[in-house]
Structure 1
Amino acid sequence: MKRGGVIHDKLSYAIATMGHDDLMIVTDAGMPFKRDERTIDLALAPNVPDMFTVLRAIRQELWVEKFAFIEEGQNPNIVNGVTAILPDAESVLMPNDWFHDAVDNSAKWVVRSGAWTPWGNVALWSGIPVASWMDSTGAEPPEEWQERLDKNRRFGNEGVE
């Protein structure tokens, strides 16, 4: 039996298969998309599990380099909560049409939460543990990695048990 972390078999497998720059989208309960082998449906009832519970579990095992919200509709509760859970990741906005296309076509995995709220969708791009990755080389990081490295050193394990 697994010691802890994500115990949902398909979600655990999905996280383990994420490579650098792969895309996982965590949706609210109402996001329309085609269900296929990339779908991990966790929704049980309204807000069960909620978006933050799902993201905290994912954060325990996945390095998230960047995340995106829908630019046309902002949900301050989701934005603030996700930003607090992923303090070392870059935040961007993407058009609603991009989200609808990505859940059907380009996301490696689509995780449906029970989030019962408008604009409760978050795109996650997997990253690398920049600090330990670069420390293992003995070399200076490329200049374009410096901000990620600083954030990773400051927040990389915050919230990870």
Structure 2
Amino acid sequence: MKKNGILNSHISKVLADLGHTDYIVIADVGLPVPDGVPKIDLALTYGVPSFRDVVHVISEDMAIEQITIAEEMVAQNQDTFLYMQQKFDHIPLLKCSHEEFKRYSQQAKVIIRTGESRPYANCILHAGVHFGTAAR
């Protein structure tokens, strides 16, 4: 049994398999999942687990070099937008239209569906590279 980190075996495997520039989507309950893109459905009920909870846990275990959100989040879900800005103040935060966001999601390695029911609570996490501090 794992001692720490993400316990969900599906998410843990996806993160371990990511390469540089691969990306995953963390989605609210309403984001459509394109045919052929795997979905890990964490939604238990509306709001559980929250978008923030899932983003926080995954960001602790993933090297992220860039984040993409829908520009509609800025005006229609300001709390989530402010959370993303503050949490990832050291990572580039790109914006695109929601329609473009849905097109990008077609190439995601996985879409992780949360129970979030606020609009536009979706993000694309682009994998970076972590070379660690192993002794040489």
Correspondences of 1:12-161 after superposition (within 5 Å): 12-34=12-34, 36=36, 38-74=38-74, 75-103=77-105, 105-129=106-130
Show CA shifts across 1:15-37 (max 9, x none).
11111111111110111223656
Q: What is the one-letter code of the residue matched to 2:128? A: G
Displacement over 6 Å in runs of 4+: none
Find the aligned partners of 2:44 and 2:56 in 1 and give their Cα distance. Answer: 18
Post-superposition offset of 1:48: 0.5
TM-score (ref. length: structure 1): 0.74
Post-superposition offset of 1:112: 0.6
| CA RMSD across the alignment | 2.0
Show CA shifts across 1:101-152 (max 9, x none).
222x21111111111101111111011237x58xx9xxxxxxxxxxxxxxxx
Q: Specify which structure has the bigger relative contact order, considering alpha-carbon pairs within 8 angstroms and separated by 6 or more residues.
A: 2
What stretches of structure 2 of length at least 5 have no aligned partner?
A: none
Find the aligned partners of 1:50 and 1:5 in 2 and give their Cα distance. Answer: 18
Q: What is the one-letter code of the residue matched to 1:22? A: D
Q: What is the one-letter code of the residue matched to 1:7? A: L
TM-score (ref. length: structure 2): 0.87
Number of the residue aligned with 1:143: none
Find the aligned partners of 1:82 and 1:73 in 2 and give their Cα distance. Answer: 10
Q: Is the 8 A contact 2:33 2:111 kept in 1?
A: no
What stretches of structure 1 of length at least 5 have no aligned partner?
A: 137-161
Post-superposition offset of 1:65: 0.7
Q: State the percentage of identical aligned residues.
A: 25
The alignment partner of 1:12 has SS state of helix
Number of corresponding residues: 132
The alignment partner of 2:61 has SS state of coil
Post-superposition offset of 1:73: 4.1
